[in-house]
Amino acid sequence: MSLAQTIKSSRNQLKSGHSACAGCAFPSIVRTVMSASEHPLVVSNATGCLEVTSTIYPKSAWDTNYIHTAFESASATISGIETAYNYLLKTKNQDQEFNFLAIGGDGGTYDIGLQSLSGALERGHKFVYLCYDNEGYMNTGGQRSGATPMGATTTTEPAGSKKQGKEKSRKKLLDICIAHDIPYAAQASASNPMDLFIKAKKAFLANGPAVLLVFSPCITVWKFPEGKYVEIAKMAVETRFWPLWEYDSGKYKINYVPQKYVPVEDFLKLQGRFKHLFKSKEGKTVIEKIQRDIDLRWAKLLKLAEI
C-alpha cells in the first residue's frame, strides 16, 4: 500500500473542508503523522493556526477523538488523559488501545507551551508531541517566536534602518527535549512525507514520550507563491538549514546527507521575509552569520552521529 493509500485509509483523519491557507503545509504533516498510528488516537491540540482553521463552530475537520486546549496546555491535557486511561486499564474498565498525540505550532511549543511540554516529558507520559514549525506566531499576525530564524523580518522585530530582522538564532528545541532523557525525538520536513511517516511510526512505538519537530513553510508570512511549500522545504534540507535527523534510544542518526554543498542564501532568496538581507552590506553580514551557524550545527550533528 502506498503512503497516500495508507493516509486515506487511516482510522484517524483530518478531513477536507478546513480553512487553512492554500499552499499551507500543516494539513499534509498532520495527516501523515496521524496515519502512522496503529490505534485510535486522542488528540490534544493547542490554540494556533491548525486549531482555528479546523474547528470553526459548529463544524470540525477532525474525525478522531479531539480536544482543543489553550496555547500553553496541550502537553498537560494529554498527560491527564493518558493518566486517566492507564487508571481505567488497571481497573479493567477499559480494554481498547489508544495512542495519544499532542499538537502545537512553534508558538505553543517553543515558547508558551514549553513549561507543560517539559513537565510531561520529565514525568515520562507515553505520548507523541508534534510541533508543526512555521517559525512564528502566524495565527495572530506574524510575530517572532523562539523558532524564528536570525534575519527574518516579523511584525514584532521588523527589518529597517536599525535592524536586519531578528537578531537572535532560533531556539534549539530538540536539544532541550532530548535533555529530558526521552526515548525518541526527530526532526522532519513537509518535503519528505515518507521520512516523516517512518519517524511517526517510531514515535508512537516508543516506550515513553516522543517529540516530532516538522518544518512547515507558511505561505502568508514567509511570502512565497502558492504551491511552492515543497520546494521551499526541500531547499531548507539541501542547504542544511533544516537537517533530517533523529535521536533514538541514546543514538543520533542523520537521515539524509546532501550530495553537494548548497549555500543558505539559495534558501533565503526564495522568501520575501529575507529579501532585505540581499539589499545591504549589513544584510550580507547577517547571511554570513546564518551560514556559520548552519555549518557549526551540521558539524556537531556529524560528530553526534559519528559520521
Domains of the chain in start order, with CATH, are 3-304 (3.40.50.970)
Q: In whole angstroms, give the CA distance from residue 287 to residue 266.
A: 11
- Crossing angle of helices 114-123 and 74-90, in 10° steps, is 30
pLDDT score for 76: 98
For residue 66, count CB atoms less than 10 angstroms from its CB and return exposed for 0-12, middle for 13-18, buried for 19 or more: buried
Q: In whole angstroms, give the CA distance from residue 195 to residue 33.
A: 11
Q: Which residues contact 299 (CB under 8 A, 6 or more apart)?
A: none
- Crossing angle of helices 26-35 and 193-205, in 10° steps, is 40
pLDDT score for 276: 97
pLDDT tens profile 249-280: 999 999 999 999 999 999 999 999 999 999 99
- Enter the pTM of the model: 0.96
Which 8-state DSSP code applies to residue 171?
P
In the predicted model, residues of the chain with pLDDT beneath 70 are: none
pLDDT score for 4: 80
Q: Which residues contact 66 (CB under 8 A, 6 or more apart)?
A: 42, 43, 45, 55, 60
Q: In whole angstroms, give the CA distance from residue 44 to residue 64.
A: 11
75 sits in which H/E element: helix 74-90
At 200, the amino acid letter reads A
pLDDT score for 281: 95
Q: CB 36: neighbour CB atoms within 10 A?
A: 25
Q: Do 47 and 69 form a contact (C-beta atoms < 8 A)?
A: yes
